[in-house]
Each structure stands twice: as C-alpha cells, then as structure tokens.
Amino acid sequence: MSESQPLLSTSNTVGLSTTPSFTLRRARWSDLRGAARACSLAFWDDVLFGGLIHPRRNEYPLESDKYWYRRFVVDWWDWSHVYLVTTEKVDGKEVITGFAHWSRIAPSTTLNRRAGWELAWWDPRRLLKPLANVAVKFMHWISPNRATTPELEDMVERGYPFLDHIWLGDPVHPDFQKKGQGRALVAWGLEQAEKEGIACSVIAADRKEGFYQACGFNVGPVGRAGEGEGNPLHDVDGGLVFFRDKDGVVVEEREPGVWMEGKGVFDWEGWLRKSAKGREV
C-alpha cells in the first residue's frame, strides 16, 4: 500500500470529520520512536500499561518508551502485522499523535499468505523477526527499562497462553485526543476486515468499551483478557473482547459465567438485560 493511497473510503468513517486536522497513514520505520512516545503518554494512567507494568514511570518518565519501541521493532518484521499512525503538524514539524497495531489472525500462515499478510516459507526476510528479537534482548540487557521490573514487564506476554491472541487498542497522544484520530485508526481495521470478508476484534481498556462499540464492534463482550485460572491479567480492570463479524454472520451472545468476573466499570446489568431481550426475540 502506497502512502499516497487513501487509507479509508467512506463505509466505516461515520463520525469522522471530512476535513480532519490530522493525516492517517501507514507507519514508517522512522515513526516507531514517536509512536512509542505517543503510547507511553496515552497509557500513562492506564491500570495495566501505566500503574501495573510501569510503577516507576514518574521517576523515569522516558523509560516506558522502551517497552513499546522494542516490541514494535520485533513485530515490524512480521508481515501479519500492520502499523498505522496519525500525524499533525506542530510548528512545521510532523508529530506522531496516534498509533494502531493491527494483526491478521488466521488458522494457518497459508491463509494469511493468500491474503497478502504473510511471506512465503522460502523468503529470506522471514529471518528478520528472529534477528530483531535477539537484538531487542541485547538492548534490554545493556539498557533495561527502569520504569518497570523484570517480573512486571512481561505480564502481557505471560497472559498469551490464556488467549488465542492479544489486541492492542488505538492510543492517541493526550494533547490530540477528541479529534477523531482514534476512530480513524479503528476504521481502517474495520474496513480492511470488510474487504477481506473476515471478522475484526479488539480488547478494550476499562472505560473504552463504549468507544469501540460506537466505532462498530457490535458483538460482545465475548470474553475477558484476564479470564482463566492463573492468568496474570486476572485482576486488571477492563480487558473486554468485542467483535465485528463479517457480513451475513449472526453470532449469539456468550452465556453469562465466571468469565465476567473481574474489575472494571462495564455495565453488566444493562448487557444482561439486552441479551435476555435478544434471546426472547
């Protein structure tokens, strides 16, 4: 996809300004440090990425950038992942104001390759991700993230066995929120999924559930990032999973159960009433 090609049509841009103050485009390698800074600031007060993983972020305010940057560097070389950024001009200089990390999860790499999201098995570029992973481990050894601790920094990764996959939200720099940038970053994924005839999903931070529902994730919650015995994310607020299914597919609401147990402000009573009415119909 070329940078001059529009990233959005009009099918999933409800609520977006026709003349936005920002630019939405595919990320460049040179954007990764700016994207890391935007993520650090956007998640500064987040329960998971702020308070739990980076308890010393106020003491070392720039160190949390390492957390994001090093993960971006590794997944940059995975062709099943796509990075998007929003930018604005500040004093004549382009500033990264928002970031989205989309990944295509398929039952096999063959399906991803057919959709253009995977390299052939013989492609030498497949070596770049493991090499980047080694480089990042070396970077971590010589320059550890002082805003966290070793037992906290990999909390999300330790939660992977409890999920088929993990999703990152669409963080926007606090100084540039309320301008439609988060909605634009979400709209790209919804539109791409629609083009490919597949479902689209997200894990919402606490208090952000309504935002993703308004963007078009109209199925769910269907799960929680912290569900499962022994899950290190069990006591983290929020983390509810929402879907936007492909056209023509109707998915029943998940039955209430222990998966609902956890912290957060989501209106479970309202969801239960709505689910009950749906089953009656």
4 located within any domain = no
Report d(CA 183, CA 108) in Å as an integer: 30
Residue 258: which domain range?
199-281
The pTM score is 0.87
Phi-psi domain of 148 (left: phi exceeds 0; alpha: psi -120 through 50; beta: other): beta
pLDDT reported for residue 266: 93
Walk along the chain (281 residues) and give the pLDDT tens digit of each residue.
444 444 555 444 445 556 778 999 999 999 999 999 999 999 999 989 999 999 999 999 999 999 999 999 999 999 999 999 999 999 999 999 999 999 988 888 888 898 889 999 999 999 999 999 999 999 999 999 999 988 889 888 888 777 654 455 678 989 898 889 999 999 999 999 999 999 888 989 888 999 999 999 988 898 898 888 888 888 889 889 999 988 888 777 788 888 888 889 999 999 888 877 765 55
Together in a domain, 94 and 227: no
Q: Are residues 271 and 226 in the same domain?
A: yes
On whether residue 5 sits in a domain, the answer given is no
Query: What pLDDT score was predicted for residue 17?
Result: 57
Query: What is the structure's pLDDT at 253?
Result: 78
How many C-beta neighbours within 10 Å does residue 267 have? Answer: 11
Collapsing DSSP to helix, strand or coil, 84 comes out as: strand
Q: Residue 101 in contact with residue 188, Cβ under 8 Å?
A: no
What per-residue confidence (pLDDT) applies to 2?
A: 42
pLDDT score, position 280: 58
Domain assignment of residue 189, yes or no: no
How far from 174 is each of 39, 96, 138, 221, CA to CA, in Å? Answer: 10, 12, 32, 26
pLDDT of residue 278: 62
In a domain, 7, yes or no: no
3-class DSSP assignment, residue 201 = strand
> Do 159 and 24 belong to one domain?
yes
CA atoms of 170 and 2, how far apart (whole Å): 22
Looking at the 3D structure of the chain, how many domains does it have?
2
203 in the same domain as 173: no
- The amino acid that residue 192 corresponds to is Q
Same domain flag for 124 and 239 = no
Distance CA 139, CA 147 (A): 15
CA distance 281 to 273: 13
- Let me know how many helices (H) and strands (E) the chain has, helices first: 9, 6
231 shares its domain with 156: no
Output the pLDDT for position 159: 80
